[in-house]
Structure 1
Amino acid sequence: MKRRGIVVSRKKSKTYAYSYEQYEEQGKGPKNVVEDILADKEFPDLTELVIGCWGNPWEENCQEVINGIVANAGRFSHIEKLFLGDMNFEECEVSWIMQGDYSTLWAAMPQLKELTIKGSTDLTLGDICHEGLESLTIICGGLPRSVMKSIQNAKLPNLKKLLLYVGIEDYGFDGNESTVKELLEKSDFPNLDYLGIVDSEIQDELTEVVLGSKYMEQIRVLDLSLGTLTDKGGRLLLEKIGNWPNIKKLDIHYHYLSDEIKDKLEKLPIEVDTSEGNEEDAYDGEIYRYAMLTE
């Protein structure tokens, strides 16, 4: 599917995006996105809105898109799912995507149930307060502490799914396992059912943090995928996950587990995804493992 202006509709979801050629030749950019959405005859029938590449996302952020949605909140009142930044690496590397400030979005879209954000450069969430949001996903190469702090203090009483790409220092992660531990300790999501702390180069350490969190008593899906999980983390899972019969699925796809530990995890009496095993690299006596989304 080529992204040239307004693209193919799929049920009640539609993607709006500009190519770099449209930016260069027609001047299309973030200032035009909301205008074009509102002019689309199909838009009133949508429940899911996906914003892809806005022409030059490595130079201009998406603040005008966010501001446009907020300024026209009444006309976006039927949108229940929003994805801002859905673009592949050919359009823009994830660490280059210039995001924006979502502080005003929470009050402007009380009907919103799912929010997905891709990219963390200049990302600000502000004071999060939303009665209806059920799913929050942030896909990035590195999650800043400031963003984690906003999530830690968020008032999201109906949040069911939290999926955070932790990433690496080179692409914006400026915390450590203690930062994630504090988020899980101080946040209050009484209806959380799916917890994903993924895509980290300290996945073993984060596995220990997550297994020690209060959310283990309530979630049904534990997602520790896309990182550098080794046998150290795998053994922790084997030792402890049986303590929580509420866990029905464990997702650890993309990992660095040995066949022995992988086989043992697959025999757990729950659904376990151990696909995409990786082999570590060795160079000059050093061992190298890489999280999935590190470019």
Structure 2
Amino acid sequence: MREFDEQPSHYETYDQSYVGLPVAEVPWQGDDEKPPEAGSAAWRLSAHTYDDNLPDLIAESFDWFFEHVDTSQVTAVVIGSWEEPYDGDSGHIVRRLADEAGRLPELRSLFLGAMSPEECEISWITQSDVAPLLEAYPKLERLEVRGGTSLRFSPVRHESLKVLRFETGGLPGEAVRGVGGCDLPALEHLDMWFGVDTYGGDATVGDVAGILGGERLPRLRHLGLQNSQIQDELAAAVASAPIVARLETLSLAMGTLTDAGAEALLSGQPLTHLRRLDLSHHAIGPEMRARLTAALPGVDVDLSSPDTGYVAVTE
């Protein structure tokens, strides 16, 4: 599992490694070398629109994968770009993965939408309801999704999921409410990038209530509510949220956090139990930064990238 202190980049396409495994691209292009053992690699499937030697359609990559790889041993899959992801949603990929669940019994880690901005800007990636992936894979431990357009997350109960991450430049409130309505008794790490309303980020503080209450997330140890234009409001909500008492790390980074949000944190419940508080990329003034550091002497408070005043990842 990724260490909680790491801050993943939306530029990362996981074409070299993923969850500690080397990545094998589908179809395998290793010349005379044989493909790696199925369980020793993370397998990356994409559409290759601009390469005549590789499949144009991601469905063809899936076909090769299931024909040439012993998928009964595969533990990690990375889904890169599909054909015209700015126009066509991920629904057909979710359905294919769900339909083929019986052929991937050991799948534990899945990244959906690991494409670079050159392939498709993050806020142009069109997603779908991704909760059926959890229904199809009851042993899945890690689900990461990039792109917020048309993203939905129907409430589910899942016994095994430990890491759930959404990287977006605009996170729909419907998806946030869906997560809050889930029963995820094993979840330890939750990251949500809210983005801006220009790109569909219409989530409000009220939408986070189901998460902050914490009743359905008994094992959560890291919470990231970040990359937001309502970062001060989120900070104020976090300051009195029941779930905070059990956290080890908290991130309110990448957004428009100001002195007002920092004051709310200092005036709320104690945060001295935290191992790390990530407030990087912010608009907190120097005096308030000094107050935060003094008030939390045993906490690793990240106040890097000051004087930003804008959301880090949008388009």
TM-score, normalisation: structure 2: 0.81
Q: How does 1:85-164 map to 2 (within 5 A)?
A: 85-164=113-192
1:246 to 263, 273, 281: 273
In the TM superposition, residue 166 of structure 1 has moved relative to its aligned partner by 1.3
How big is each residue's C-alpha offset from its partner over 1:98-152, in whole Å with a ceiling of 9 and x where there is no partner?
A: 1122243222101100100111212222232211111111111111121122111
What is the aligned partner in structure 2 of residue 213 from structure 1?
241
- Does the 8 Å contact 2:49/2:57 carry over to 1? no
Give, in whole Å, the separation in 2 of the partners of 1:67 and 1:291.
Answer: 33
Contact kept, 8 Å, 2:172 with 2:201, in 1: the verdict is yes
- Secondary structure (helix, strand or coil) at the match of 1:229 reads coil
Distance 1:99 1:142 in 2: 12
The aligned residue for residue 277 of structure 1 is: 306
The answer on 1:260 being equivalent to 2:287 is yes
Aligned partner of 1:283 in structure 2 is: none
Closer, same or farther: CA 81–57 of 1 in aligned 2, 3 Å: same
Q: Take 1:5 and 1:87, find their aligned partners in 2: how far apart are those partners?
A: 15
1:63 aligns to 2:83 (yes or no): no
Alignment-derived partner of residue 172 in structure 1: 200
Higher strand fraction (1 or 2): 1
What percent identity do the matched residue pairs reach? Answer: 29
Match of 2:44 among 4, 12, 15: 15
1:259 is matched by which residue type in structure 2?
Answer: P
Instruction: Measure, in 2, the Cα distance between the counterparts of 1:214 and 1:7.
Output: 48
Which letter maps to 1:83?
F
Find the partner of 2:62 among 34, 48, 72: 34
Alignment CA distance shift 1:2-1:11 (3 Å): same
After superposition, residues 37-48 of structure 1 pair within 5 angstroms as 37-41=65-69, 43-48=71-76
Residues in 1 aligned to 2:193 and 2:184: alpha-carbon distance in whole angstroms: 19
For residues 60 and 170 of structure 1, the distance between their equivalents in structure 2, rounded to whole angstroms, comes to: 20
1:189-226, CA deviations, whole angstroms, 9 ceiling, x for partnerless residues?
Answer: 11111111001011111101111111111111111011
The letter of the residue matching 1:249 is R
Structure 1 stretch displaced more, 190-199 or 104-113: 104-113
Structure 1: stretches of 5+ with no match in the other structure:
280-288
Q: Would the alpha carbon gap of residues 42 and 292 (structure 1) be closer, same or farther in structure 2, given more than 3 Å must change?
A: farther
On the 8 A contact 1:210/1:216 being kept in 2, the answer is: yes
- Choose 267-276 or 231-240, whichever is displaced more: 231-240
Structure 1: how far apart are the matches of 2:147 and 2:238? 23
> Residue in 2 aligned with 1:290?
310
AA at the equivalent of 2:216: D
From 64, 67, 78, the equivalent of 2:106 is: 78
Aligned length: 284
Query: What does residue 282 of structure 1 align with?
Result: none
Distance 2:101 2:152 in 1: 20
Is the contact between residue 33 and residue 65 of structure 1 (CA under 8 Å) also seen in structure 2? no
Letter paired with 1:292 = A
- Contact 1:29–1:56 under 8 Å retained in 2: no
Contact 1:12 1:45 in 2 (8 A): no
1:133 aligned counterpart, secondary structure? coil
Q: Deviations over 1:209-249 (max 9, x none)?
A: 111111111111111011001122223334446x1443111
SS at match of 2:277: strand
Per-residue Cα deviation, 1:62-97 (whole angstroms, up to 9, x for no partner): 222111111111211111010100112111011111
Tell me the secondary structure at the aligned position of residue 54 of structure 1: coil
Deviates more, 1:193-202 or 1:64-73: 64-73
What secondary structure, in the 3-state scheme, does the structure 1 residue paired with 2:46 have?
A: strand
Deviation at 1:264, TM superposition (A): 3.7
Distance 1:220 1:7, change over 3 A: farther
Report the CA distance shift for 1:87/1:7 in structure 2 as closer, same or farther (over 3 A).
Answer: farther
Report deviation, 1:2: 10
* Structure 2 residues not aligned, in runs of 5+: 1-12, 16-24, 30-35
**Pairwise CA RMSD:** 2.6
Structure 2 residue identity aligned to 1:255: H
TM-score (norm 1): 0.86
